[in-house]
A and B are shown apart, each in its own frame.
Chain A
Amino acid sequence: MASLFQRRRNKATQVERVRERRHEGFLRYAGFRWAKISGGLCLLVIISYALIDVTPRHNGGSWYGYTLGTIGAALILWLTALGYRKRKMTSDHWSLKAWTSAHVYLGLGLIVVGTWHTGFQLGWNVHTLAWALMMLVILSGLYGVIVYATLPQALSNNREQMTQMQMLEAIRAFDRQLHTAAQPLTPEDTAPVLAALDEDPFAGGVVARLSGRYPDCATAAALRTLTLSRSSDSEAREKVVGLLRQKEAALARLRQHLRIRGLLEIWLYVHVPLTFALIAALSAHIISVFFYW
Chain B
Amino acid sequence: MSEPVKVAIIGSGPAGLSAASRAGQLGLSHVLLEKTDHLSDTIFKYQKGKRVLATPERLDLRSDCRFAEGAREYILGNWDEDAANNKVHVAYHADVVEVTGAKGAFAIKTGKGDVFHAENIVLAIGTQGNPNRMRCEGADLPHIIYQVDDPEDFKDRHITVVGSGDAGIENALGVAEEALENTVTILNRSKDFARAKAKNVSDMMEAGENGLMSIRTETQPKKVETGWLTLETPDGDERIPCDVIVARLGSVAPRGFVESMGIEFTGPDREAFPKLSPTFESTVPGIFVIGALAGYPLIKHCMNQGYDVVEFINGNTGLTPADEKDLAAIFAGLPQKKSVSEWLEYLRTRVSIFADVSPLQMREFMLDSKVVFYRKGEVVFEKGEPGSSLFAIADGFAEVEVSPDFTVPIEQGSIFGEVGLISGRKRGATIRAGADGIFVEVSRTAALKLMASVPGAKRAINRISLERQLLQIFKGGLTVEDLGPVVDTAEVERVPAGKVVLTEGEQGDDVYVIRSGSMVVEKDIGGKPIFLRYLPAGSFFGEMGVLSGQPRNATVKAAVGSEVIKLTGESFRKMLAARPQVREATEAAVAERAQMNSFIESRKATYSSAVDLYSDTASFIMKEGLGEATDALLIDENLCVGCDNCEKACADSHEGLSRLDREAGKTFAHLHVPTSCRHCEHPHCMADCPPNVIHRGPDGEVFMEPGCIGCGNCMRNCPYGVIRMEAAPPQKPSLLRWLLTGFGPGPGEPSPKWTKKQLGDKKPKKIAVKCDMCKGISGGPACVRACPTGAAIRVSPEEFLSIARLDEDTD
* Interface set of A (CB-CB < 8 Å, partner B): 9, 13, 16-17, 20-26, 29, 84, 86-97, 99-100, 148, 151-153, 155-156, 159-161, 163-165, 172-173, 176-177, 180, 261, 264
* A21 close to B795 (CB less than 8 A): yes
Give every chain B residue within 8 A of A159 (Cβ-Cβ).
663
Chain B, residues 187-209, CB within 8 Å of chain A (1/0): the string is 00000000000000000001001
* A93 close to B780 (CB less than 8 A): yes
Question: Distance (Å) between the CB of B782 and the closest chain A CB?
Answer: 6
With A21-B795, A155-B642 known to touch, is A86 a contact of B788 (CB < 8 Å)?
A: yes
Give every chain B residue within 8 A of A164 (Cβ-Cβ).
663
User: What are 18 A-B pairs at a CB distance below 8 A?
Assistant: A9-B778, A21-B805, A86-B645, A87-B739, A87-B746, A91-B779, A94-B779, A97-B787, A152-B640, A152-B789, A153-B638, A155-B640, A156-B638, A161-B665, A176-B211, A177-B209, A177-B211, A264-B641
Question: Distance (Å) between the CB of B698 and the closest chain A CB?
Answer: 9
* A177 close to B642 (CB less than 8 A): no
Q: Smallest CB-CB separation from B746: which chain A residue?
A: A87
**In the assembly, what is the distance between CA of A108 and CA of B800, in Å?**
34
Chain B, residues 291-312, CB within 8 Å of chain A (1/0): the string is 0000000000000000000000
* Interface set of B (CB-CB < 8 Å, partner A): 206, 209-211, 636-642, 645, 648-649, 652-653, 661, 663-667, 670, 672, 735, 739, 746-747, 777-780, 782, 784-791, 793-795, 799-800, 802, 804-805, 808
Give every chain B residue within 8 A of A152 (Cβ-Cβ).
637-642, 789, 791
Give every chain B residue within 8 A of A25 (Cβ-Cβ).
636, 638-639, 789-791
Question: Distance (Å) between the CB of A253 and the closest chain B CB?
Answer: 14
**In the assembly, what is the distance between CA of A139 and CA of B786, in Å?**
25
Which of A21, A23, A95, A180 has the largest number of chain B CB atoms within 10 A? A23
* A89 close to B649 (CB less than 8 A): yes
With A92-B778, A156-B670, A173-B210 known to touch, is A97 a contact of B641 (CB < 8 Å)?
A: no
Which one of B642, B661, B664, B793 lies within 8 Å of A23 (CB-CB)?
B793
Which of B210, B672, B795 has the largest number of chain A CB atoms within 10 A? B210
* A176 close to B210 (CB less than 8 A): yes
**In the assembly, what is the distance between CA of A156 and CA of B795, in Å?**
21
**In the assembly, what is the distance between CA of A100 and CA of B780, in Å?**
18
Q: Smallest CB-CB separation from B646: which chain A residue?
A: A96
Interface residues of B: mostly helix, strand, loop or mixed?
mixed
* A92 close to B784 (CB less than 8 A): no
Which of A9, A26, A264 has the largest number of chain B CB atoms within 10 A? A26
**In the assembly, what is the distance between CA of A19 and CA of B279, in Å?**
58
* B666 close to A153 (CB less than 8 A): no
* B641 close to A148 (CB less than 8 A): yes
**In the assembly, what is the distance between CA of A176 and CA of B779, in Å?**
48
Give every chain B residue within 8 A of A96 (Cβ-Cβ).
645, 785-788
* B641 close to A86 (CB less than 8 A): no
* A148 close to B211 (CB less than 8 A): no
Question: Distance (Å) between the CB of B487 and the closest chain A CB?
Answer: 35
Which one of A21, A156, A176 lies within 8 Å of B802 (CB-CB)?
A21
Give every chain A residue within 8 A of B642 (Cβ-Cβ).
152, 155, 261, 264
Give every chain A residue within 8 A of B784 (Cβ-Cβ).
20, 95
* B790 close to A153 (CB less than 8 A): no
Give every chain B residue within 8 A of A13 (Cβ-Cβ).
780
**In the assembly, what is the distance between CA of A196 and CA of B795, in Å?**
46
* A91 close to B790 (CB less than 8 A): no
Q: Smallest CB-CB separation from B669: which chain A residue?
A: A156
* B747 close to A97 (CB less than 8 A): no
* B799 close to A89 (CB less than 8 A): no
* A92 close to B779 (CB less than 8 A): yes
* A93 close to B209 (CB less than 8 A): no
Give every chain B residue within 8 A of A24 (Cβ-Cβ).
790
Question: Distance (Å) between the CB of B325 and the closest chain A CB?
Answer: 31
Give every chain B residue within 8 A of A97 (Cβ-Cβ).
787-790
Give every chain B residue within 8 A of A93 (Cβ-Cβ).
778-780, 785
* B785 close to A21 (CB less than 8 A): no
**In the assembly, what is the distance between CA of A159 and CA of B663, in Å?**
10
**In the assembly, what is the distance between CA of A174 and CA of B775, in Å?**
44
* B791 close to A16 (CB less than 8 A): no
* A89 close to B672 (CB less than 8 A): no
Which of B667, B780, B782, B790 has the largest number of chain A CB atoms within 10 A? B790
Give every chain B residue within 8 A of A9 (Cβ-Cβ).
778
**In the assembly, what is the distance between CA of A90 and CA of B799, in Å?**
28
**In the assembly, what is the distance between CA of A114 and CA of B638, in Å?**
33
Give every chain A residue within 8 A of B802 (Cβ-Cβ).
21
**In the assembly, what is the distance between CA of A95 and CA of B794, in Å?**
13
Question: Distance (Å) between the CB of B678 and the closest chain A CB?
Answer: 16
Which 5 pairs show the lowest CB-CB distances between chains A and B?
A: A156-B637, A163-B663, A89-B652, A97-B790, A93-B779
With A153-B637, A177-B209 known to touch, is A91 a contact of B777 (CB < 8 Å)?
A: yes
Which of A21, A153, A180, A264 has the largest number of chain B CB atoms within 10 A? A21
Give every chain A residue within 8 A of B648 (Cβ-Cβ).
87, 89
* B793 close to A20 (CB less than 8 A): yes
Give every chain A residue within 8 A of B805 (Cβ-Cβ).
21
* A23 close to B653 (CB less than 8 A): no
Give every chain B residue within 8 A of A99 (Cβ-Cβ).
788
Q: Smallest CB-CB separation from B653: which chain A residue?
A: A89
**In the assembly, what is the distance between CA of A37 and CA of B493, in Å?**
58
Which one of B786, B787, B791, B808 lies within 8 Å of A22 (CB-CB)?
B808
Given contacts A16-B780, A26-B788, A96-B645, 5 further A-B contacts (CB under 8 A): A87-B747, A96-B786, A155-B637, A176-B211, A264-B642
Question: Distance (Å) between the CB of B649 and the closest chain A CB?
Answer: 5
**In the assembly, what is the distance between CA of A236 and CA of B197, in Å?**
34
* B739 close to A84 (CB less than 8 A): yes
Give every chain A residue within 8 A of B788 (Cβ-Cβ).
26, 86, 96-97, 99-100
Question: Distance (Å) between the CB of A280 and the closest chain B CB?
Answer: 16
**In the assembly, what is the distance between CA of A25 and CA of B670, in Å?**
14
With A17-B799, A25-B790, A173-B210 known to touch, is A87 a contact of B641 (CB < 8 Å)?
A: no
**In the assembly, what is the distance between CA of A93 and CA of B781, in Å?**
10
Question: Distance (Å) between the CB of B658 and the closest chain A CB?
Answer: 12
Question: Distance (Å) between the CB of A104 and the closest chain B CB?
Answer: 10
**In the assembly, what is the distance between CA of A87 and CA of B645, in Å?**
8
With A87-B747, A152-B639, A153-B638 known to touch, is A161 a contact of B667 (CB < 8 Å)?
A: yes
Q: Smallest CB-CB separation from B668: which chain A residue?
A: A161
Give every chain B residue within 8 A of A173 (Cβ-Cβ).
206, 209-210
